[in-house]
Structures are given as structure tokens and as C-alpha cells.
Structure 1
């Protein structure tokens, strides 16, 4: 019997779309991506990174992991009043693939979105949208928990609550909560799940890594194709041998230092926007830096987009931005 080459698979199909936009338009785009897991910032011709940039996504960026969180807990009146209406909650199932397994996400607008398999969909008995592909069929159910009409005295609430309780849907979950009132501690939600619901909750700290390269040829944005620039950014972040990357340099006869900072955690669009604003201020104050970039990757198992999407924003000295959006399907 011939052993199949299980390692020899082609890369998944992907699309790259590049748009030149203003700083304001880039800000609006960033604010539409709520669930972010991996962020990297590339600083060409830079070794000494300001401390406030290094800690942008580590200081006060903790999140929580909840073991087997029942979805019925997220629609209880006490929880909705305390956390959905008095803050912004981001939550999603952490160990499930939405294309082949049941999963969920909870957005800051108060929408509970379930992506479930046909058997679970029939058991739940709640209306949803059917999404079919060549390999699978999933059903997406959206419940607006933050709606003023989503009350325990209403039939719709009673039906949703009873169906979630009877099916017992529960997931390992990561979440973060930002209260509207600065005097309220974000850890209140962990205390609630531990004491009121008797769940196991773990505090998680984001991870940070810095890569320094002291001799690199910086890509010229005008003479290189977008995929060449993105390849260079990715190779630098992976600490690859940069001599093997073929690019047209901003200074053909010079090699300059470059730095990449990588963060891994659970980040809201607001936190990512703060990083973007800091990079705009950074390049204004650094005439020697030709450009800076920020790469953001989401979670593969969120139901917010049909593919695995990530994007890179490049900012030049004219404060013109280019957004490169990559979607893998």
C-alpha cells in the first residue's frame, strides 16, 4: 500500500484586497473588527521602542477563561442588567470550530450569536439563518440580549431562556467586560460567575514578544507589490533570514534595524484603535522611519465572518494609510 503524502496539501485559497484610505477611514474600519487575537506592530529603522508602545496591549488587558459556561447564564435578567446594560461584553467559545462544531460569540452591542450544527438547531427550535458550503451546513441564530424588549415578562424571552436551559448548551469561553462606569472593576464579571453561577474562572494575561533585526533592507512601498511588502512583514515577525526576501529597498545600499512587537490575547476594537492612534503619533515624531504597520488577526472560530480574515494597516509619512485585507476560506 502506498503511503499518502498527508503533509503535501496546497495552501487554502485566499484573497487579498488593498485600499488606500485616510487616517479617519482606517479608524472607522478598525472599529468594525471586534474580536482580535493576534496583533503585531512593525517599526522599520527602529530599535529603541517607546515603553508606552511596548505595553499598549499588555497593561490592563487581562481577560478571563470560563470553563463550560452555560449560555442560559448570559440571558438571565440579573446578568443582563449588571453586565450587558452597564458595560461592553466580548465573549466567544474558545475550543470550537464554527464550521463543524457548535460555537457562539457575544458582541459588545449585546448580540448573542450561535453557530450550530443541524442536530442542535432542530433541538433548540429557535429561528436562524442557514449557511451551506460544499462540506458542511451550519445555522446561525442571533439573539439581541441588549434589546429593551428582551424582558423576562415577554414571550420571546421566555422561549429563548427555556430552550437554552433545556438543551444545556455550554462552552469553554474567553471573555472580557468593560464597564461604562470607571469606578466599577472589570473583574466583577469573574466574581459573578464564580459566586453566583459556581463556575470555574481563570484570569489570563496577554503574551508579548519582541523581535529585533539589526540589518534589514526596508521595502519601498512604491516599488514593491503589496504581497511582497506583506511577505517581508511576515518574515520579520517570524524572525526569518531576511536576506532571502527579495524586495526593492528604500535605501538600496544600506541595511537598517527593524523591530516587531507581537501581542496575543483577547482584544476589542477599542484597544486596537488605541494602538493605531499611537502609531500615527509615532511616525509623526520620527522623520527617519519610512513607514509603520499593524497586522491584526481575529479568531478562526468566530461566526462574525465567513472566512478567516486578518488585515494589515500601513501608515506612511504623509499619514496616508493602506489597508490590506486577507481572507482565507
Structure 2
């Protein structure tokens, strides 16, 4: 559906891992867009973080209780390993194998999408009264992570506002390094695109995904049984620019990017447009609205915002087969 773009608050597909921007009739990324991407907030990689450190009183006070803290276990596979996410609403989410779940003795439920592998989901609200330091729930979780099983893993973490200052109580006791999102650029020539305002949403997302993945859209013979061609009616732009940023991204930075693209479109040609696609982490234990990630039948959640100079837009939300998109 096409609507008027007044203000878009970018709601991430769980924890945003990558944003890709596609701009037609650009030989290089506009300087102001480069500046926005290069100003994205840094994040931190903590090596072998003992998870009980997330229950430290000073860290809870400086970061978790203040909101907007984002954390995710790094290089853990959602279908095989123990995975953990710390969400900005204070929820600490575990996706655990059966042995770990039973050893920790936490309250949880069997995974909906990993029934064959005997996985369990546990969600703890660190802002709940029982989880205050010294409370019954707090002591139970602390005991599980210190006495029953000292889980540790590499962990990505970021916080807004405050950044490193808010995270200092945690970082001061850990082996950490500061990271910045990786920014990439790719120039395209003779980009054939479908009718953007009337194209079927599924077909449009498929076309955007093909461009983002550098899939050839030429209808020529090959050794493959299937080919991808552009839908009719179609149009061609002589050149285009694809720019992306990868890392632990913050919604505030994505919001700033969208606002900058709105200004760019106001100054561009009347037939111009901009496409913004945001992907969540594949191995995050949470999807839309903190729902469990649907691994076996999809597992990739994303949204795409297609913007036009007249302040209209098309918003596409995608999720796994068992997940629901937010309204």
C-alpha cells in the first residue's frame, strides 16, 4: 500500500544487522549520505563474556534500567548453539539446548520452531521487581549462571544514548574491542526495474533482493533451469548506487538515515526514489516484537522502505512462516 510519508520511526527486525540503500541516477554515493553512514554509532565486541556479568548491579543501573541497550551473542548458531540477546526493553532472551536448559533450571518453554532438536526458550525481564538485585528472581538467575553453569560467549553490545560511558561498568571487567559498522559501496549500470508504485510486493522484494545480492537479471540462456527476469512494465536507469552498512546497528541511526534520504529526494528529480532495506541478525533468538525466531521455515526477518519525492512510501515487512509482523 502506498501512503504519505510524514515520519517513519524505523522499527528494527529484532536486532538490525545490515541496512542497504539503493539510489538511482547516482554515479557515487552523495557526500551527505556517506557522512550519515560513517557517523553510525560504534558497538563493542566482548570476548568470552560470562553471562552473569549482565546481572552486575552497576551495569543494570547505568545501562539496562536506562533503556536502549542492545546485546547479542556473536558467532553462535541459533539451530545448534546456546544464543542470548539483551533487548532495549530489558528482556534477557535465551535460546538453549536441552542439556543447558535442564542444568540451569530456569523457567522456559519448548521452542516452537526447533521441536526436532529439543531446544528451549527462556525470557527474563530484568526490569521486573523480582529481578532487582537481591530479589528472589535475581538470586535464582545469578545462582544458575555462577554455580550451576558458567555460560560464557563472545558478545556484541551497544547502548544509546551514552555509548561506552553507559557500558563502562561492564567493559571495565572484560576483554573488549570497539567496532564500527562496515560501509560498502557498489556502482550499478543500466539498472532495469519494475513499476515501483504498482508492482506486487512479493515480486518487488524479490527484485530488490536480487539487486542487493548482485544476481543477474538478464533473460539469457544458461546452465540453470530457472532465470530471474524483470517484471513488465519496466524502466531503465543508466546508473545507480548501492550503499550498505553492516554491524550492530541502532534504530536511532536508521531513523537519521531515512530523514536524510527524505531531504535528498526533495532535491532530486521528480521521478526519483530511494530503497532502504534493513535485515535482522540471522542467529538472533528474537524476531519481531521479541517473538521467537522461526528457524526451520525461514528465519530471516527484514523490512523495506521504498520512498518517493512526493512524501509517499511503500513499507514491506517480512518474517518467518511462524512469525507475525508488527502492525
**Same fold by TM-score, threshold 0.5 exceeded?**
yes
Aligned to 2:252: 270
CA distance in 1, matches of 2:300, 2:217: 27
Aligned to 2:81: 101
> Which ranges of structure 1 fall in alignment gaps of 5 or more residues?
1-18
Is the CA contact (8 Å cut-off) linking 2:261 and 2:274 kept in structure 1?
yes
Is the CA contact (8 Å cut-off) linking 2:43 and 2:178 kept in structure 1?
yes
RMSD over aligned CA atoms reads 2.5
Shift of 1:321: 2.0
Q: 2:263 aligns with which of 281, 290, 299?
A: 281
Shift of 1:231: 3.7
- 1:1-329 equivalences under 5 Å are 19-23=1-5, 27-28=8-9, 30-31=10-11, 33-132=13-112, 133=114, 135-166=116-147, 167-179=149-161, 184=162, 186-188=163-165, 191-195=168-172, 197=173, 199-222=174-197, 224-241=199-216, 243-244=218-219, 245-248=229-232, 251=235, 255-305=237-287, 306=293, 307-328=299-320
TM-score by length of 2: 0.82
Shift of 1:32: 5.0
Shift of 1:65: 0.6
Shift of 1:282: 2.0
Alignment deviations for residues 219-264 of structure 1 (CA, whole Å, 9 cap, x no partner):
322454334433443333344555444344665xx64221111111
Is the CA contact (8 Å cut-off) linking 1:208 and 1:264 kept in structure 2?
yes
DSSP-derived class of the 1:308 partner? coil
CA distance in 2, matches of 1:60, 1:225: 33
Shift of 1:71: 1.2
Q: How many residues align?
A: 300
Shift of 1:291: 1.9
